């Protein structure tokens, strides 16, 4: 990948890292430069391999739900990946091809979805028991991810880590704001009559009536 395209992609990642749409736009550009079928950002419990799909392009919600409920436990690629060096992209060629093709995971899940090859990297330290990882999938018409492609993807890892920190911080702020909005909604509700110390005196029709009359 040319350096100007690399810089453009990194800039795109940082520009909208706080929004899910920004990550999706980055993934779309990345999939164009490194041909692939879909890209997924996933939160993973390392010990149990239970997952939560945070963002995904081209995979339907029900397909992701089925993976999280069942096929994550048959994902031979994810199991091997947890033991590979951290913070760099690895191809699913780390799993013997014969083993992968004979697996339930391939026969019942990835093959019907036209997913034949994959590469992925942890972008948080899984040694703490929880981590985010990015996985890029390819179809049967593609070739395995080359060393050059993996090397290019590795250049994004520190930027993905920084962008994820921005994204998580924004989610935390949105959650905090949602909590404030809920409190404000309760305080504004006409069904409550409060003392000066904010403790509830009553929650009944009389309180509602007084509040409507601005007597309270």
Distance, CA of 204 to CA of 130 (rounded, Å): 46
| Res 174 pLDDT > 70 | no
Would you kindly state where each structural domain of the chain is located, as residue ranges? Answer: 34-155
Distance, CA of 29 to CA of 27 (rounded, Å): 5
Confidence of residue 190 (pLDDT cuts 50, 70, 90): very low
Distance, CA of 120 to CA of 93 (rounded, Å): 11
pLDDT at 120: 94
Mean pLDDT value across residues 174-202: 53
Q: What is the pLDDT of residues 56-87, one digit of tens each?
A: 888 888 888 898 888 988 999 988 887 889 89
Q: What is the pLDDT of residues 115-155, one digit of tens each?
A: 999 999 998 877 777 788 899 999 999 999 999 999 999 99
Topology of the domain comprising 34-155: Beta-Lactamase (3.30.450)
Distance, CA of 201 to CA of 142 (rounded, Å): 68
């Amino acid at each position: 990948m040319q350096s100007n395209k690399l810089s453009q992609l990194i800039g795109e990642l940082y520009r909208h890292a706080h929004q899910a749409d920004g990550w999706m736009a980055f993934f779309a550009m990345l999939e164009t430069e490194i041909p692939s079928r879909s890209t997924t950002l996933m939160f993973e419990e390392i010990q149990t391999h239970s997952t939560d799909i945070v963002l995904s392009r081209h995979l339907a919600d029900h397909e992701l739900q089925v993976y999280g409920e069942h096929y994550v436990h048959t994902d031979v690629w994810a199991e091997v990946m947890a033991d590979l060096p951290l913070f760099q992209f690895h191809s699913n060629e780390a799993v013997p091809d014969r083993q992968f093709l004979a697996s339930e995971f391939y026969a019942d899940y990835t093959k019907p979805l036209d997913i034949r090859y994959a590469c992925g990297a942890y972008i948080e330290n899984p040694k703490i028991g929880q981590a985010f990882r990015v996985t890029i999938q390819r179809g049967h018409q593609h070739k395995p991810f080359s060393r050059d492609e993996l090397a290019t993807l590795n250049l994004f890892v520190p930027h993905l880590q920084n962008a994820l920190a921005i994204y998580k911080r924004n989610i935390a702020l949105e959650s905090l704001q949602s909590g404030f909005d809920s409190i404000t909604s309760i305080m504004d509700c006409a069904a409550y009559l409060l003392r000066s110390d904010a403790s509830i005196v009553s929650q009944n029709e009389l309180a509602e009536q007084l509040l409507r009359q601005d007597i309270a």
